[in-house]
């Protein structure tokens, strides 16, 4: 009887959590990712959410749901890092992709494991990587693959992995951290058909400094550092392959556009001259509404605990993307 009552209370609590009515202004979030699930008529938005256990911080993720992108319910917990995972620290930039009938979480995994001596006055070189998890439903629970190890090389500081499928082959594009590289890079690695592991060695696509608009975080008195963050790929109505990605323009977080000269993910890639967004916001992704309208979601501002998701109308111009008004 007590067990039945307990289960009833858990169900009631879950219903109550989902029933909260929120707007995007109410939700603190960095690196927002929105997944439209057509068969449910629901948009899922995923956000990092760590927990503490015996004084130790473990990574995790929550989800919010909406039918109209205006009113949201949640949060509901959909992922906790397994305690025996290779890396168990905070989760950054969670993305969920539908692929071959399952839902795959791409999560940046953090740790406090220092793996080589840092430069003076520079952030520590800790193990940071992207790992993929899977679930049968968009609300999880998401599970690790058997080896419970990252999909990016442990000998690199990596983050912000995303999925791209080309000619039936899955790839992960990710950022090789500016913290290690000074001039951050975009890297490509092939994945196994079931996304359980990577295949072969990564290939460099471009460096952050290749973009004319991307400027160093540091002043001229020290070695310049250029950031690569938040990559997301999109094929335009004319077949051009674009990548939006984030860096800094004169101290302000921004989003630029790279284009593949060949239309293939291997590139070569060239940078479009002007940023897509440059008003202290970034780490964007692109999706279509159930009505077929193109949207960009990003977080802004880029700090101070004030980060919120912002939605913008986006125009596919064939050879580039044009930002229109913010959706209120």
Per-residue pLDDT at 123:
80
Cα distances (Å, whole numbers) of residue 15 to 3, 72, 130: 18, 14, 32
Per-residue pLDDT at 122:
74
Per-residue pLDDT at 18:
56
- Residue 66's pLDDT band, with cuts at 50, 70 and 90, is very high
Q: Calculate mean pLDDT across residues 130-156.
A: 96
**Which has the closest alpha carbon to 42: 11, 69, 79?**
69
Q: Calculate mean pLDDT across residues 314-326.
A: 97
pLDDT of 328 > 90? The answer is no
Q: Please, are residues 190 and 200 in contact by the beta-carbon 8 Å criterion? A: yes
Q: Calculate mean pLDDT across residues 167-193.
A: 96
Per-residue pLDDT at 302:
97
- Residue 17's pLDDT band, with cuts at 50, 70 and 90, is low
- Residue 114's pLDDT band, with cuts at 50, 70 and 90, is confident
Per-residue pLDDT at 296:
98
**Which has the closest alpha carbon to 83: 113, 54, 103, 44?**
54
- Residue 156's pLDDT band, with cuts at 50, 70 and 90, is very high
Cis ω for the linkage preceding 141 (within 30 of 0) = yes
Per-residue pLDDT at 20:
81
pLDDT of 294 > 60? The answer is yes
**Tell me: the pLDDT tens digits for 96-112?**
999 999 999 999 999 98
Structure token digits, residue 12? 């009631």
From CA 135, how far away is CA 149, in angstroms rounded? 17
- Residue 8's pLDDT band, with cuts at 50, 70 and 90, is very low
Chain mean pLDDT for the chain: 92
22-32 exposure pattern, b = at least 16 Cβ within 10 A, e = fewer = eebeebebbbb
Name the fold adopted by 93-326: Tachylectin-2; Chain A (2.115.10)
Q: How many residues appear in the chain?
A: 328
pLDDT of 6 > 70? The answer is no
pLDDT exceeding 70 applies to what percent of the chain?
A: 93
Q: Please, are residues 314 and 286 in contact by the beta-carbon 8 Å criterion? A: yes
**Tell me: the pLDDT tens digits for 266-284?**
999 999 999 999 999 999 9
Per-residue pLDDT at 12:
42
Q: What is the 3-state secondary structure (H, E, C) of the chain?
A: CHHHHHHHHHHHHHHHHHCCCECHHHCCCCCCEEEEECCCCEEEEEEECCEEECCEEECEEEEEEECCCCCEEEEEEEEECCCCCCCCCCEEEEEEEEECCEEEEEEEECCCCEEECCCCCCCCEECCEEEEEEECCCCCCCEECCCCCCCCCCCCCEEEEEEEEECCEEEEEEEECHHHHCECEEEEEEECCCCCCEEEEEEEEEEHHHCCCCCCCCCCCCCCCECCEEEEEEECCCCCEEEEEEEEECCEEEEEEEEECCCCCCCCEEECCCCCECCCCEEEEEEECCCCCEEEEEEECCCCCCCEEEEEEEEECCCCEEEEEECC
The residues, any chain, with a CB within 8 Å of residue 289's CB and separated by 6 or more, are 36, 69, 295
**Tell me: the pLDDT tens digits for 304-314?**
999 999 999 99
Q: Calculate mean pLDDT across residues 212-228.
A: 86
Q: Please, are residues 247 and 240 in contact by the beta-carbon 8 Å criterion? A: no
Provide the phi-psi class of 209: left if phi over 0, else alpha when psi is between -120 and 50, else beta: alpha
Q: Calculate mean pLDDT across residues 36-42.
A: 97
- Residue 155's pLDDT band, with cuts at 50, 70 and 90, is confident
Cα distances (Å, whole numbers) of residue 273 to 96, 212, 279, 297: 30, 6, 16, 21
Per-residue pLDDT at 24:
97
């Amino acid at each position: 009887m007590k067990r039945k009552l307990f289960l009833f209370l858990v169900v009631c609590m879950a219903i109550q959590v989902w029933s909260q009515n929120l707007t995007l202004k109410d939700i603190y979030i960095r690196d927002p990712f929105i997944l439209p699930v057509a068969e449910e008529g629901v948009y899922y938005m995923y956000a990092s959410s760590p927990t503490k256990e015996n004084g130790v911080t473990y990574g995790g993720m929550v989800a919010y749901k909406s039918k109209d992108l205006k009113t949201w319910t949640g949060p509901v917990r959909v992922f906790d890092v397994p305690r025996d995972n290779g890396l168990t620290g905070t989760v950054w930039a969670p993305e969920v992709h539908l692929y071959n009938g399952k839902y795959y979480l791409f999560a940046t995994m953090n740790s406090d494991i220092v793996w080589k001596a840092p430069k003076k006055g520079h952030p520590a070189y800790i193990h940071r990587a992207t790992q993929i998890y899977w679930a049968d439903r968009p609300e999880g629970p998401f599970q690790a693959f058997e080896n419970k190890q990252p999909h990016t090389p442990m000998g690199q500081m990596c983050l912000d992995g995303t999925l791209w499928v080309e000619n039936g082959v899955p790839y992960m594009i990710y950022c090789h951290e500016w913290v290690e590289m000074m001039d951050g890079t975009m890297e490509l690695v092939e994945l196994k058909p079931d996304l359980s592991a990577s295949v072969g060695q990564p290939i460099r696509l471009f460096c952050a400094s290749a973009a004319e608009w991307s400027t160093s975080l540091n002043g001229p008195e020290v070695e310049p550092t250029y950031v690569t963050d938040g990559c997301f790929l999109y094929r335009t109505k004319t077949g051009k392959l674009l990548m939006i990605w984030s860096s800094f323009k004169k101290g302000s977080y921004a989003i630029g556009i790279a284009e593949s000269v060949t239309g293939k993910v291997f590139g070569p890639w060239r940078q479009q001259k002007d940023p897509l967004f440059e008003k202290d916001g970034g780490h964007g992704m692109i999706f279509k509404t159930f009505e077929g309208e193109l949207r960009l979601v990003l977080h802004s501002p880029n700090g101070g605990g004030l980060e919120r998701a912002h939605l913008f109308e986006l125009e596919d111009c064939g050879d580039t993307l044009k930002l229109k008004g913010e959706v209120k």
